[in-house]
Structures are given as C-alpha cells and as structure tokens.
A and B are shown apart, each in its own frame.
Chain A
C-alpha cells in the first residue's frame, strides 16, 4: 500500500509537506532522546548493582549530560503538542497513567542526582535508591507507552501484557545503552562490571526488538502489507539483517573486551571501548526506522495521520524558520559540551 494514499483530498503545497517536515523533526528528537537519555537512564538502572564507591563515578559519567539529554524529550513532546495538537491530546489522554508514572520517575531521578551530593551522608543511600527506582520506573513506563501506541491503545489483558513486555524490553535496551556507555567512560573494576551488565541486557534488548517486530505487523493488516508484499519485502530486508549483524557484532566486541580485561591488555580495552556503545546505538537507530516505517503516515495506527492532526500551515512555517535557524546551533554547542567532557569520567567538582 502506498502510504500517500491516505493524504486527504485537496491537500497540496505547504499543507502537504509541512507536516512531513515536522514529523521528521519530531522523529529525530524522539530518536535522539531515546539514545541520549537512554544511556543515562540505563546507568540509573544499574546503579544498585554497583559498590557505593563506584556509584559516584557512574553518576559522574552522566552528570554533565543528563539535563540536555532530557531536553530532547521536551522538544519531541513539544513538537507533537505544537505541530500535531489533535494527536497530542488523543495520545497523551489515552496514556494518562503511564505518562504520570513516567513523569514521577523522571522527577525522582532528576532531583536525586543533585540531592545525593548535597545531603547528609546518611541520607545519600536513600537518594541513590530514588535515582535507581526513578530511572527504572521511567524506562518501564516509556516502553509501556510505546506498546500501547503500537497496539492502538488496546486495553484488553493481552494488549496490556504485551505493553508491559515492551516496557521490559525498552528497560533492557536502556540498560544496554547505559552499560555500553560505562564501558566507554570508565576503567578498572567498574568497567569490568559494565561488560557483564552489557552482556546480560543485550539479550533482553534483542527479545524486545524481536517482539515489536513480530507484533507490529500482526496488529494491523495495513502494516503487514507494508512489510510483506513484494517488492518492498526485499527492499526492507536490510533492516532486520543489519539489526542481526549489529547484535552479533556487539557480542564480538563484548567477548573481545572481556578477553582484553582478563589478560590485562589495557591497549585493547582503550582501543575498542567505543564498540559496544556504537553497536547499541545502531540497534536503536535500526529499530527506530523499522517502527517509523510501520507507523507512517499515522500518528495513531489506522486512526490519525500527520495531515489530520497538523496545526495551521502558517504557524508551522513560523516554527520551521526558528527550528532551521536554531537546530544547527544546538547541535554545535552540544558537540562542544561533549568535547569538553570527553575521555574517561572523573569525579565531579563544582567549579
């Protein structure tokens, strides 16, 4: 089926292409959010598996980044709100409870990050727990929201069970990103632990991606047709194949790093530490494209398209001008911040 068949009749010019541009911008924000906040949520998920002394280093590895990472969520949801106001109400209304839980989780972890360093030492463990629990809660809730969106807000027991399963899968994915990030940013005993964590969470991630890939075509015949009719099938084949390849490559990196760590090959550890993170990010990018292809041009499967939900073209135009002007600057100074804090994480000091 040609996705453009669902374009409402009589749409042309700006009213046709502006929603397309904005859904791309929104998708880009969401993808960046999932990857960037994914790794810091993942570090939070693992926090409780580490020694108290290692926790400071784990937090230090994400300290300079988490705030800006979360801003991509504000932009993503903000674009949904301002570019597709109709869909924003429908989607967030249907996801009211998981959204509330996710927000509670994000609030807890965001403040715990700062409080733990500023309260009396005996209260620190409590905020560590809040950081861990908040990260886990936010990840599970986001995955559940994704599951609900894919199933078209199916509130039957089967639909809910599936959504919770996706929640677990996404939490595993974030845990993988977090562990890979720690492999990249830390050394010694903590890095060794992170290797083990990455190995564990990789399997959960794989299961989650497989579940989404199998379930999405089953939910809607239209999506099924998009994937399994010829010749699209062959054109799309690279997506699952590349995912599989990335998964295998990830395992290769992890084994190699483990051997290096065991034999004390510091050179090898340094040279390949970026590998697992690159593979994990690639897995997320591929899964994202697969999902985006399935859903497009719908914001809510089979119900609301980007054209039904879009704001007035003249307002979109005003926003597009701003976005085109400002986004390059944002990407530029984000790169600058990552450069300033490059290399292995060291303890954080104010000033």
Chain B
C-alpha cells in the first residue's frame, strides 16, 4: 500500500461512496415530505402529518451527514487531484460555483425553517420553505451531474497550452450523457427512498406499532417502488445504449466481453481473468448481448482487447451485476407487495422481506456509480486527462493515515445512522408538539 495514486483513488472513492448515500436519500425524501405536507393541508388527515413528523427527523439526519461529507469533497478536489482543477478548472470551476451559489445556500437556509419553523411562520411559508429545500437538493444534483457527465462525455471546450477552455456553455450544460444520467440518478433516489419508507413501515407493522401513519407509509413506499422500478429499468437501458455510443470500452467491461464478437453472448456469470484476458467459468446466453445492444442478433460488439485504453474488467463487471441484481429483486419484491396490498394485507414473510430491502437502494446506487466511474478509467476526463496525471504529490503515508481516519469515521457514522433510524422506528410516531405522549405499541397489541 505505498502507491500514492492508488491510495488517493481509494480515499476519494471512500469519501464519495459515503457521501452519495445521504444525498441519495435526501433528494427524494424531501419531495416525499413535501407530498406529505401538501396532502395534510388538503385533507387535514392527521396520518399525513404523522408521516411528515416521523420522516422529517430522518431527513434532518441525512441532510447533516450529506453536508459534512460534502464539505470533505470540496477539499479533496484540491488535496487529492490538484491536476484536475489546473487542467479542467475553467469548466469544473463555474459548475461547482453555481452549485454552491444556487443550491447549497438555498437548501441550508430554508432547511432551518422547514425543520424548526412550523410554529414560527404561516403554513404557506412553511410549505414554500419545504419546496425550496427540495428544489435546492435537486438543483444541486443537476449541477454535479452536469460536471460528472461532462467528465464522461466532454464537449464544448478547446485545449490551449494543455488547459481546457470553455467555448460553448450551452453544449456543456447539455452534454450527451447528462439527460440519461440525471434521470437515472433521480429515479434511483426515489426508489431508494421508496424502499426505505416501505421497509421501516413494515418494521413498525411487524412490531405492532398502531400509529395511523404506519400502513399509509407502507402503501406510499410499496406503490411508489412498484411504479418506478419498470421505468428505471427502461431508463437504465437507454443510459446503457448512450454509453455504448460514447464510451464503448465501459460497456465491454460491463458485459464481460474480451474479444470483438458478431452475435455477442450475454454473460450471466463469469470470473474475469485480467492477466490472461479471458473469462473463467462463463455462463452465457448466445447472441443476446448483440440483440439488446445493437438490436441485431448477429451484430458486432467491440471487445475490451480492441481498446487501447480501457478499465479493468473485474470491478466494472461485478458492480454492474450487483446493480442489475438488486434492481430485479426490487422489481419482484415491490410487485409482490403491491399485489398483496391490493388484496388487503401483506403477509409477515413479505413484510420481513421488505425490512431486509430497506437499504437495497444504497447497494444499487453505489454499485451503479462504481460501474460508471471505474468504467471511465484510466481517464478522469475522457480523452483529456488521466487520473494518474491529476494525482497530487502528497506522500503515501500521509494519505494512508488520513484514509484510516476517514474510513473508521465513516464506518462508525454509517452504523450510527442505521441504528438511529431503527431506534426512531421503534419509538414510533412522535406526538405533535404540545400534545401529551400516548403510548403506542404494547397497549394495543
């Protein structure tokens, strides 16, 4: 472990993996809260307000974790990848600046009114504050995905003396992979939240929590998941075809394809051998990959060997299978649960299944990001800058030391987060401020 480049990559990956967990939740959870808030205003049904009060606490926790891990990112751009900003800073800089200026302040400021201001401002202003927080989180996702997509599919710039200069901001803001990536990520966020809401509601139901919001929460979570998952699979497919067009090496690694093949098979399982550049223990369906990639059973799909620069196959190959696997599991569980819900009640075994799937979205999201980020290697910005050229000259032991510190912090905080939200779920619906606390579970079982 004395390779500074590898250590810097691991450190950055650790930070960004930890970071992405929380915005993924807070983006869609914000919109869910706005939905609960508006439903309550329309119907005056207390169950919506109970849902709001329960989930706003989890939202606050996600938000805080997202903010602090995000601050880390803004420093590590400089400490780990100084070459990134010196080479493409003229493009990355304004995008990051716009994210801070238009999104971060908006969400951070109105968050306080959303969280603590319900008794201090009118209902209308409170709803507006909630909507502005949602708008801010989504806008922040937009800016950062513009930058990330530009790194994948850079356009609208020219190189002068080794430094990228923007020539067409409109092209940068609508670069070819952005629409697919943005949509894929926003739906992923919604799915993650839908499964968390369904999972925690199922957990409370299993514990015979009689709070009026529990069944409502289960319905919202399950139905949202069941509607979103087929859309997500379709969008993911379009995203893949877009990647095939712009970054074919990434797709070859995802598909486990070493040699360019006419009628390429869909590899279900294999152990890629990086040294021998071939697959071991391969199980594949003939011609299927050509069919869904080039829409012709005998079409040619380019293999990894035919690219001069390409990522390692193993991490991309496996991350892709984890993402797709979780997605299919989500499909099965949400449709089953929706079917039982329409018939009246969900059986206990399926409720347990939903609890087990509470954080399934996290696994799919992280795996998906590994596919797209590792799949871009060795480039940091496709065709413009490699990760090696952007790395800093900070000595390896120093990176290793801070990496150990960050890692232990992240493990502790992730465990604390998960246990805190299950603790909140056991406490059940918080009584509205000013009401006497009513014992919920137990008394009614």
Contact = CB atoms under 8 A, between A and B. Distances in A.
Contacts of B331: none
A323 interface: yes
Contacts of A233: none
Interface string B62-85: 011101111110110111001001
Contacts of B398: 96-97
Contact of A118 (B67, B94, B409, B420): B420
Q: Which 5 A-B pairs have the closest CB atoms?
A: A82-B93, A89-B82, A64-B112, A85-B85, A110-B68
B382 interface: no
B423 A82 contact: no
Nearest to A72: B105
A49 B406 CA distance: 29
A235 interface: no
Contacts of B52: 351
A88 B163 contact: no
Interface string B85-110: 11001111110111011101110111
Interface in A327-351: 327, 330, 333-334, 336-337, 340-341, 348-351
A351 B53 contact: yes
Contact of A77 (B75, B104, B165, B409): B75
B116 interface: yes
Chain B contact residues: over half helix, strand or loop, or mixed? helix
B86 A314 contact: no
Contact of A119 (B85, B93, B111, B423): B423
Contacts of A82: 85, 89, 92-94, 96-97
Contacts of B165: 312, 314-315
Given A92-B75, A315-B91, A114 B97 contact: no
A341 B433 contact: no
B234 to A, nearest CB: 35
A341 B105 CA distance: 17
B423 A118 contact: yes
Interface in A57-88: 63-65, 67-68, 70-71, 73-75, 77-83, 85-86, 88
Interface string B112-125: 11011111110000
Given A67-B64, A92-B75, 20 more contacts: A68-B105, A81-B74, A85-B89, A88-B82, A89-B82, A99-B75, A106-B71, A111-B64, A114-B61, A119-B416, A314-B166, A315-B89, A315-B90, A319-B93, A323-B97, A330-B105, A333-B110, A336-B109, A340-B113, A350-B57
A322 interface: yes
A278 interface: no
A93 interface: yes
A81 B91 CA distance: 12
A120 interface: yes
A351 B109 contact: no
A63 B116 contact: yes
Interface centre among B65, B79, B413, by most chain A C-beta atoms within 10 angstroms, is: B79
